Chain A
Amino acid sequence: MQILMLGWEFPPHISGGLGTACFGMTQALAQKGAKVIFVLPRTSSAGEPGFLKLRSASGTKINYDAAQRMQMAGESVWQDNIRYMPIMSPLTPYLTPEAYTRAIRELSKSTRFSETTLVSHGAFTYQLKGGYGPGLMEEVSRYSRLASAIALEEKFDVIHVHDWMTYPAGLLAKALTGKPLVCHIHATEYDRSGENINTQVAAIERAGLLGADRVVAVSRLTRDVVVQRYGVPREKVTVVYNAVTRPEIEHHYVIPPRLRHEKRVLFLGRVTYQKGPEYFMEAARLVLQKVQHVRFYMAGSGDMLPGLIRRASQLRIGRRFHFAGFLRGEEVNRMFALSDLYVMPSVSEPFGITPLEAMLYDVPVLLSRQSGVSEVLHHALKADFWDTRDMADKICAVLQHPALAMEIVQNCREEMKTIRWENAAEQLLSIYESLTGGN
């Protein structure tokens, strides 16, 4: 089985859970004998894993013939599905109005941010930046052409695309090659932005999901969103849960003696509306009324951070509530290892891999019921994100009763054995097989 996989992130170029998920998934697929060609906006020479073929879309040659075919195929795809205007826009998926104006200003300074390069004999190419910077829409549009050019060069059986940035490319490649398209949805626009959605992004999502031969959702929660918001037929959507890879080298982190009598409660994630950081702070306020010797850590950055720092000082809990900033690699592991409880109070979380990572360090977790991962983790504490009293009650219980923490950790450790990428890969392979007719 050969798979052309189109993605936007891949380690070491990550900014969220998408890259981590793609890595685990492709690794498990490769172990099952599938050949994966993974197309990224751009790759660096460093750190290419051996188990798949990583290709950079940036700089791929598009010759005249291919451009013509794309034009034909593309027009019908776009006209049928999306009213798409290729304008210069500083849109990124995780942007608020204030950040948007800032980005607009920066955009106007740099007049051209990606160059069309003419190569010999009427062939041409684009340079892509990757990431989620300003001009994302433009990049998405160019990525679709470059990735399709790769699709015309490579041999494969199925096209598998991850999240809306790659959906246009997937649709175009499907129209050009006639191969079946699997659209994997890790997060919908409604998860990212609540009701204030970006209509352009939502339109691309709808087109991709409706145009796909099969949709893969990361949780039942996401499946319901896809079915209700985009009208995708339920039977077309399959739920494949994410998993987590156990790191091979396990570091042991020692808790500094001066902190040993205290307990640490951790929030780790983007400090944005979607992740519910303000509910974490409210729960912390309630906990601090009842329990001493506890510290709260908020690790991550985002548009809500300044407001929350102000709020912490207003509540006079700053002495016990710390902002750790954005953590990377080693620091993240250390933070997990030193925590006594990990809290994920997300307002809307299609899946959420971080609780699984916390569990790798034997940290008990408290999840919002509005998260996909709570569907697979039966031995985690759960609370509705708005019910901060309930959340605080559970935090207090974990801090006060060692028996509870022990029991959760023990049962989670058992449960983690069943949450493996191998299982996800098997499900994906059977989806591919059903689409290609078993060859």
Chain B
Amino acid sequence: MAAICLCLAIHEPYYLRRYTIFDIAENSLYEDDDRSCNMAMHNAQTCYLPTNEILYHLIQRYKGNFRLALSISDSALDLFEQYTPEVIDSVRALAETGCVEFISESGPHSLACLYSREEFIHQVQEHNRRIRRTFGRVPSTFRNSELLYGNDLAQTIAQLGFSTVLTEGSPQLLGWRSANFVYAASVAPQLHLLLRNADLSTDISQRFSQKSWDRWPLTADTFASWCENIGEQADTINLFLDFHVFGLRNTADSGIFSFLEALPEQILQKKHLDFLTPKQVVKKFPVRDSLAVAEYQSWNDEGCDLKGWLGNEMQKDAIKELYRLALRARSLGDEDILRDFERLQTSDYFHYMSTRWFSESQPDRPNPYASPYDAYISYMNIVADLGERLTKCEETKKQKTRASRSRNASPAQSNMQERTTQTGKTADPIAPKTTKKTARTRAASKVHASKRTVKKASS
């Protein structure tokens, strides 16, 4: 008996404006709202809404026998909430069937794990909270942006309370082994590893629409029989797909929707095949071996490495420049700055700077810039502006504390002083639970303080 473990990743980036050096300190509008809106609407219409409808009906039809797992990035959630809330509703409908497992990820679809562990932990915890708030589910499985994973990360993920992590079944990792079993992380034995079946996943994600492929056109029947063959010597067949596969990378006229509709029936017809979510897979099948992932790997098509995001000097320079601001942004705790800081971590922005990628961009995830150099220039200007804003905010904050300190002489202010010290304490990046509250407290104290100054001025 083998499981088909279908995991779909939903991610949409905000599109950034062409932000020039002349915009710095003049305006801090980084996002191209029109473009982001258009893409969100377009993708909702051609991909998310029709696919979710099909998935919903499949779940209804097979009464618990068809299951899948979903992950949604924060930027995608933001975009949908802002422009097409019906997508959120459709995902919520899926959640209510009880046949969908929600997988956690680093909120803004970031590469934070490589540059700031505190930032990473914070993002994952925040994202978990958001998933619970929005869909009422607590994730126990984790997938990093771009399926990024390495030994280095195993302990952290385990400590965050996850029992399973998804990553790529890359050839250099597997060697003679098969991706179709449950593995454990060598450095954190309690953490299960599920590896993507690269062949079968790419059959759907890349080759499905390729007319030059010798197996084209792929039918659900054929695909199920391949799964059956593999299933004889496998515990789980992990199909990890970008959600764009349905309707965007493979357009509607490629027949992808009828493929999806027919797949469960064909799979369930086979005696030894079943749909399970990651949580069920690790519960059902034993750990066969432990795996050490010495170097970080991703689901990049070429080489499964990080070169697509951090392959050249521009990419490294840009990401270092951004994370240099991490501590300051977190300790300042200004909500606007934090939101921009988080959004700027989206891995897509670094992908746009890849000189390797340049000639072959995925049409469903277009590079909005004419060249990787333009992407870098724009991004660096934005980060420079963010830095300027931070400095300015820090200065005003300093002035305020100085002002409150000088007022400290009068006993009436003691209450207020207490509040500020509290704020200072809770602005620790590893204690995110209180950030929201502190922000509110600070807002209140701000109002308080401004009233005071007005009073003082008038007196």
Contacts and interface: CB of A to CB of B under 8 A. Distances in A.
A411 B373 CA distance: 11
Contacts of A394: 373-374, 377
Interface in B366-423: 370-371, 373-374, 376-377, 380-381
A382 B371 CA distance: 9
A121 interface: no
A406 B355 CA distance: 13
A407 B380 CA distance: 15
Given A290-B21, A389-B22, A393-B21, A408 B373 contact: yes
A407 B21 contact: no
A289 to B, nearest CB: 8
Interface of B: 18, 20-22, 312-314, 316-317, 355, 358-359, 370-371, 373-374, 376-377, 380-381
Nearest to B355: A411
B338 to A, nearest CB: 25
A119 interface: no
Interface in A278-295: 286, 290
Given A401-B317, A406-B313, A389 B373 contact: no
B275 to A, nearest CB: 45
Interface in A36-86: none
7 contacts: A381-B374, A389-B22, A392-B21, A400-B380, A403-B314, A404-B373, A407-B314
Nearest to B380: A401
Contacts of B359: 378
A106 interface: no
A394 B371 CA distance: 12
B21 A396 contact: yes
A400 B316 CA distance: 16
B35 to A, nearest CB: 18
A421 B267 CA distance: 58
Contacts of A154: none
Among A286, A290, A381, A403, find the residue whose CB has the most chain B CB atoms closer than 10 A.
A403
A382 B22 contact: no
Among A382, A393, A396, A400, find the residue whose CB has the most chain B CB atoms closer than 10 A.
A393
A390 interface: yes
A404 B313 CA distance: 7
Given A381-B373, A401-B380, A404-B376, A290 B22 contact: yes
A393 B377 contact: yes
A326 to B, nearest CB: 31
Q: Which 10 A-B pairs have the closest CB atoms?
A: A403-B317, A393-B20, A397-B377, A403-B313, A396-B21, A393-B21, A407-B314, A407-B313, A403-B314, A290-B21
Contacts of A378: 358-359, 371
Interface residues of A, number: 21
Interface string A358-381: 000000000000000000001101
A152 B392 CA distance: 80
A276 B307 CA distance: 39
Given A379-B355, A401-B380, 14 more contacts: A286-B22, A290-B22, A381-B371, A381-B374, A389-B20, A389-B22, A393-B377, A397-B376, A397-B380, A401-B377, A403-B317, A404-B373, A407-B314, A407-B373
Contacts of B314: 401, 403-404, 407
Contacts of B316: 403
A397 to B, nearest CB: 4
A393 B381 contact: yes
A397 B355 contact: no
Contacts of B22: 286, 290, 389, 392-393
Contacts of B373: 379, 381, 394, 404, 407-408
B20 A390 contact: yes
Contacts of A411: 355
Among A286, A381, A392, A401, find the residue whose CB has the most chain B CB atoms closer than 10 A.
A401
Nearest to B359: A378
Contacts of B312: 407
Contacts of B370: 382
B14 to A, nearest CB: 21
Among A406, A407, A408, find the residue whose CB has the most chain B CB atoms closer than 10 A.
A407
Contacts of B18: 390
A378 B316 CA distance: 21
Nearest to B358: A378
A381 B373 CA distance: 7
A407 B355 contact: yes
A389 B378 CA distance: 13
B316 to A, nearest CB: 7
A396 B313 CA distance: 18
A381 B378 CA distance: 13
A297 B359 CA distance: 34
A30 B376 CA distance: 43
Contacts of A406: 313
Nearest to B312: A407
A407 B312 CA distance: 7
A400 B371 CA distance: 19
A378 B370 CA distance: 10
B358 to A, nearest CB: 7
A341 B355 CA distance: 20
Among B18, B20, B312, B370, find the residue whose CB has the most chain A CB atoms closer than 10 A.
B20
Nearest to A390: B20
Nearest to A369: B370
A408 B372 CA distance: 10
Contacts of A393: 20-22, 377, 381
Contacts of B313: 403, 406-407
Nearest to B370: A382
A263 to B, nearest CB: 15
B67 to A, nearest CB: 46
Contacts of B377: 393-394, 397, 401, 404
A286 B377 CA distance: 16
A411 B317 CA distance: 17
Interface in A136-150: none
A408 B355 CA distance: 10
Nearest to B23: A393
